[in-house]
């Protein structure tokens, strides 16, 4: 690996990347993750029968809020004026899981990968919180970046 880590200075100390000279471009990031659970837990969530309320609506709002506050959580992230945040959920009946996809957009000088990953992570944590009373064995898995567009490095998509 010959590329330099951008969040380290020449002495190896942490630094926030200076994006002042970078060009403003449209940037998009898509992240995914899943929450695996017991079939009965999945049924309760799908039917809106959890005692705490509508699990997926609360998870969606939590993920959106988290994306907007990523810079408060990840020390070297820049505060960004996000132009779009979406979270979608789908049921994997066979795998007894909820699939989460988050998409974040900005017109800016730095990407939104961390915001998309944070949105998905917090949405997954919220699903766990809302359903833990009936299933403490839920697993948050496969949280990953699947696509990014914009900036100097252009378009990237996972295999």
How far apart are the C-alpha atoms of 102 and 118, rounded to whole Å? 9
- CA distance readout (Å), 59 to 50, 100, 128: 13, 10, 9
Q: Is 2 exposed, middle or buried (0-12, 13-18, 19+ CB in 10 A)?
A: exposed
The neighbouring-strand residues paired with 90 are 99
**129 is known as an active-site residue:** yes
Name 134's Cβ contacts closer than 8 Å, sequence gap at least 6: 38, 40, 41, 44, 50
How far apart are the C-alpha atoms of 29 and 116, rounded to whole Å? 6
Q: 45 — phi, psi (to 5°)?
A: -65, -50
Residue 151 gets which letter from DSSP?
Answer: S
Catalytic residue among 10, 129, 135, 159: 129
Query: Catalytic amino acids?
Result: 129
């Amino acid at each position: 690996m010959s590329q330099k880590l951008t969040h380290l200075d020449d002495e190896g100390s942490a630094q926030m990347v200076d994006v002042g000279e970078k060009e403003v471009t449209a940037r998009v990031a898509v992240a995914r993750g899943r929450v695996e659970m017991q079939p009965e837990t999945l049924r309760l969530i799908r039917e809106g029968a959890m005692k705490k309320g509508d699990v997926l609506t609360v998870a969606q709002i939590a993920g959106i809020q988290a994306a907007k506050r990523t810079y408060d959580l990840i020390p070297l992230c820049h505060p960004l004026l996000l132009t779009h945040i979406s979270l979608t959920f789908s049921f994997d009946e066979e795998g007894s899981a909820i699939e989460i996809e988050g998409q974040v957009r900005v017109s800016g000088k730095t990407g939104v990968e961390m915001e998309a990953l944070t949105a998905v992570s917090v949405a997954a944590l919220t699903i766990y919180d809302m359903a833990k009373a009936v299933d403490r064995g839920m697993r948050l898995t496969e949280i990953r970046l699947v696509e990014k567009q914009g900036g100097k490095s252009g378009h990237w998509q996972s295999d």
